Amino acid sequence: MHLKFLAAVGGVCLALGSGPASAQEETSASTLYGDLQHVTQDMLERAAGDGNNFLHTNGNYEQTRYYPASQINTGNVQNLRPAWIFQTEVVDSLETSPIVVNGIMYVTTSFNHVYALDARTGRQIWHYKHQMGPVTTYCCGPNNRGVAVSGDRVFMGTLDAKLVALDAKTGKQLWETQIAEAELGYSETMAPTVVDNMVLIGTNGGEYGIRGFVKAFDTETGEEIWNFYTVPEDSKGVWATHDATGRDMKRDIEAEKAAYEEMGDPYETLGGGVWQNPAVDLETRRIYFVVGNPSPDLDGSLRPGDNLYTDSLVSVDLDSGEYVCHFQYIAHDVWDLDAVSPPIITQVKDEAGNDIKGILHGGKTGYVYVHDAEDCSLIRFSEPMVSQEGRWTLPTEDGARMLPGANGGVEWSPMAIDPNERLTYAINLHQPMTYTVRSTPYPEGKLWLGGSFDVIPDEEQWGNVTAVDYDTGKIRWKVRTEQPMIGGILATAGGLLFTGEGNGLFKAFDSSNGAELWRFQAGAGVNAPPSSYTVEGRQYIVVGAGGNAQLNYKRGNNIIAFTLAD
């Protein structure tokens, strides 16, 4: 009886939540270029070699963001011109990675709009506007980083902590699932990943005292298949005193142990969000993702211990979500210099010079970390890409200056690699900040930073585009930019890198030496990862120009596709 009642109320809620048809603008599929073809698992697995489509947020399951088409290359990129500009109805941060399937493009905006566009012309095919619930949460802008595609469906996570499935042909909502309780600070800005009929997604909320997770949902029904908590019930770890680069983190271990005895394990409100997509290794059927900061960000007094698995690379079994291995970069982080940029799977040299399967991660510390995929162990870390002045200075009540600032040396921005050059490319921030600690108890789902991190107004800020040899850790080249960089980067087989800046410039660089070969002024911050695709024999580069709320870069609403002039 009790169950029946619950089921009945749940049904009412689903009916209310699924929303009326007015949330979508229908169109006639018969008028479309292409046929919005079914996306097969085979297509998703072969994406790394697919020079027509862009099927994953980071290009392929390995997340290399290396696009195999070379029609646009170092020899002709100076002839790159806008092919079309599509304006969304939302003038706010754009962090979407455009996904392209057989000539149809899917983009998202802040506040969870989805558009399907004709990738040749930018003509709108359909528009879905999520009917947002009354409780949304975002620490860093009302962002969304894009959709995942599989079968004839499109999937998106929402600011009110839901996962929605849409019909790829019409934009009609097929189902929605509440991923976690929005009132407690859970929400979604990351794009999901789809593999073998499972939708994988993490959660935001590390600034709100959530307990982080990665979950798998059934693509057909939206039912949960497995859940991996990123914070185990025993989160104290090994009481590590030094970080991954060997620096003393100045922890008072004895005081922490005493606090742990008195307070117990803080796992229930310890944070550990997962902001970006997992890399998928179908050979071993494992996934690799990075886990964000502990809660509260700056106040370690309420969370004694290493705070596992925050600030870590973690691998779990794809089919069960069972733990496989982890590596923690910073134990007991009190600087929010966590792990957010999505990991990359590629062949790397081990310490003996042999090629092995490795994992790359660009840390907010400003280092590229290179791991053995087998056991997550660290093989090497790169030269620092940004200043490490004062690291690790503990936050104080009056504020203490340190670099990198809390937006990191690399933010959530995905890196790209060129496997031929054996280089990985990151975009960086130089942003001095003061770190201030103020201890307050868990505020039941409200913002819980435990202090603040503030930009120092009189100090100069800038950014870099940096190329790192992942076999040696050496920086090959570095190009400075006017402002701190956030968004993402794309490498192509044409020997090019594409990335944008907060001042509206979208640039192409020679990926071998960093020479700037082309630029375009987009009129608003270009702070989204670019994609590429080919339709009717013509290669395009596409990027969102909507600015960024986190760094207060000029907002806009443009999706801009470029191709070579005739």
Partner 1 sequence: MRTILGGLSACLAAGPGLAQDAAFDVEAEAQICAGCHGEAGMPVDETTPIIWGQEYFYIYTQLRDYAAARREHEVMTGIAAEYDRDQAKQLAEYYAAKDWPAIQAATEEGDARLANAGITGGQCSACHGKWEGDSRIPRAAGQQPAYLEQTMKDFKNEVRMNAPDKISTMKQLDDATIEALARYLASL
Q: Quick check: 550 binds partner 1 (CB under 8 A)?
A: yes
Report yes or no: 160 and 136 within 8 Å, Cβ to Cβ. yes
What is the Cα–Cα distance from 515 to 441, expressed in whole angstroms?
51
Considering beta carbons, is residue 59 or 142 the nearer one to partner 1? 142
Pick one of 101, 180, 368, 370: the residue that binds partner 1 (CB under 8 A). 180
What is the Cα–Cα distance from 167 to 153, expressed in whole angstroms?
5
Q: Extract the tokens encoding 127.
A: 């528009």
DSSP helix/strand/coil, 56 = coil
Residues contacting partner 1: total by CB under 8 A: 53
Q: How far apart, in Å, are the Cα atoms of 231 and each of 11, 206, 309, 457?
A: 32, 11, 6, 36
Active-site entry in 243, 336, 338, 471: 336
Q: Which stretch binds partner 1 (CB under 8 A): 62-70, 82-90, 118-126, 442-450?
A: 442-450
The nearest distance, CB 451 to partner 1, in angstroms, is 5
The nearest distance, CB 93 to partner 1, in angstroms, is 8
Considering beta carbons, is residue 92 or 256 the nearer one to partner 1? 92
Q: Quick check: 448 binds partner 1 (CB under 8 A)?
A: yes
**Site mask for partner 1 (CB under 8 A), range 452-471, x = bound:** xxxxxx--------------
What is the Cα–Cα distance from 323 to 228, expressed in whole angstroms?
8
Q: Quick check: 482 binds partner 1 (CB under 8 A)?
A: no
CA atoms within 13 A on the CB side of 492: 27
Considering beta carbons, is residue 7 or 352 the nearer one to partner 1? 7
**Site mask for partner 1 (CB under 8 A), range 40-79, x = bound:** ----------------------------------------
DSSP helix/strand/coil, 33 = coil
Q: Quick check: 294 binds partner 1 (CB under 8 A)?
A: no
Q: Quick check: 121 binds partner 1 (CB under 8 A)?
A: no
Q: Quick check: 494 binds partner 1 (CB under 8 A)?
A: no
What is the Cα–Cα distance from 326 to 350, expressed in whole angstroms?
18
Q: Which stretch binds partner 1 (CB under 8 A): 19-27, 178-186, 306-314, 352-360?
A: 178-186
The nearest distance, CB 313 to partner 1, in angstroms, is 26
Q: Quick check: 393 binds partner 1 (CB under 8 A)?
A: no
The nearest distance, CB 562 to partner 1, in angstroms, is 28
Considering beta carbons, is residue 137 or 481 the nearer one to partner 1? 137
In the chain, what is the straight-line distance between the N-terminal and C-terminal CA atoms, in Å? 70
The nearest distance, CB 440 to partner 1, in angstroms, is 4
Q: Shortest CA distance to 408 belongs to which of 394, 426, 423?
A: 426
Q: Which stretch binds partner 1 (CB under 8 A): 179-187, 383-391, 470-478, 500-508?
A: 179-187
Q: Quick check: 13 binds partner 1 (CB under 8 A)?
A: yes
Pick one of 32, 100, 125, 182: the residue that binds partner 1 (CB under 8 A). 182
* Residue type at position 503: N
Report yes or no: 381 and 371 within 8 Å, Cβ to Cβ. no
336 assigned to active site = yes
Strands 451-455 and 416-418: unpaired
Residue with tokens 């005895």: 261
Report yes or no: 79 and 565 within 8 Å, Cβ to Cβ. yes
Considering beta carbons, is residue 40 or 221 the nearer one to partner 1? 221
Handedness of CA 439, 445, 446, 449 (dihedral sign): positive
- CA 243 vs. chain centroid, Å, equals 23
Pick one of 59, 103, 141, 487: the residue that binds partner 1 (CB under 8 A). 141
The nearest distance, CB 251 to partner 1, in angstroms, is 22
Q: What's the order of all strands across the beta sheet hosting 475-481?
A: 416-418, 423-430, 462-469, 475-481
What is the Cα–Cα distance from 157 to 179, expressed in whole angstroms?
9
Q: For residue 490, what are the β-bridge partners?
A: 498
Q: Which stretch binds partner 1 (CB under 8 A): 8-16, 347-355, 377-385, 422-430?
A: 8-16
Q: Quick check: 178 binds partner 1 (CB under 8 A)?
A: yes
Q: Quick check: 259 binds partner 1 (CB under 8 A)?
A: no
Q: Which stretch binds partner 1 (CB under 8 A): 9-17, 345-353, 480-488, 530-538?
A: 9-17
Pick one of 451, 487, 529, 556: the residue that binds partner 1 (CB under 8 A). 451
CA atoms within 13 A on the CB side of 163: 29
CA atoms within 13 A on the CB side of 310: 41
Pick one of 76, 136, 284, 388: the residue that binds partner 1 (CB under 8 A). 136
What is the Cα–Cα distance from 286 to 271, expressed in whole angstroms?
23
Q: Quick check: 19 binds partner 1 (CB under 8 A)?
A: no
Pick one of 214, 449, 508, 543: the residue that binds partner 1 (CB under 8 A). 449
The nearest distance, CB 177 to partner 1, in angstroms, is 8
* Residue type at position 110: S
* Residue type at position 446: K
HEC string of 442-482?
A: CCCCCCCCCEEEEECCCCCCEEEEEEEECCCCCEEEEEEEC
The nearest distance, CB 474 to partner 1, in angstroms, is 33
DSSP 277: P
HEC string of 390-407?
A: CCCCCCECCCEEECCCCC
* Residue type at position 253: I
Pick one of 7, 22, 354, 537: the residue that binds partner 1 (CB under 8 A). 7
Where do contacts with partner 1 occur on this chain (CB under 8 A)?
A: 3, 6-7, 9-10, 12-14, 16-17, 92, 132-142, 177-178, 180-183, 223-224, 399, 434, 436, 438, 440, 443, 446-457, 549-552, 555
Q: Which residues are catalytic?
A: 336
